[in-house]
Structure 1
Amino acid sequence: MTLLLLEALGALVLLVFIVWWTMFSGRKNGELPEQVEREKSENADKSDQGPPAGR
């Protein structure tokens, strides 16, 4: 029984590690600064509007 619990705990630790690794592997200091995220969302909003009228 103890062996099964240790195996389950090991699988859980591995799962948490994989999720953590995939969330933060591409970012130097974790999450992006708030200013950068705000600029990205503003740029995405502008690109959703489509081309200007009259062209």
Structure 2
Amino acid sequence: MLLLLLEALAALFILLFIVWWTMFSGRDKGELRREEHPSETGEDRSEDDGPASR
């Protein structure tokens, strides 16, 4: 029974380590701060606004 508990804890640790590695590895201070540009927010859509603008 103790062996199953240790194996489950090891699997949980590996899972959490993989999640941490893929999210935060290589970043100086964790999450990147995103600078919003008009083209990314959808505010600058002067080329084609779709069929409603015609």
TM-score (norm 2): 0.65
CA RMSD of aligned residues (A): 2.8
Deviation at 1:48, TM superposition (A): 6.6
Aligned residue-pair number = 49
Deviation at 1:43, TM superposition (A): 4.0
Judging by fraction of residues, say which structure has more helix.
1
Equivalent position of 2:47 in the other structure? 51
TM-score (norm 1): 0.64
Deviation at 1:41, TM superposition (A): 5.5
CA 1:9–1:47: 2 relative to 1, 3 Å: same
Deviation at 1:40, TM superposition (A): 2.9
- Show structure 1 runs of 5+ residues with no match: none
- Show structure 2 runs of 5+ residues with no match: 50-54
Per-residue CA deviations over 1:19-49 (Å, capped at 9, x if unaligned) read 001001242211123xxx2x23644024772
CA 1:31–1:11: 2 relative to 1, 3 Å: same
Identical-pair percentage: 55
Equivalent position of 1:3 in the other structure? 3
Larger radius of gyration: 2
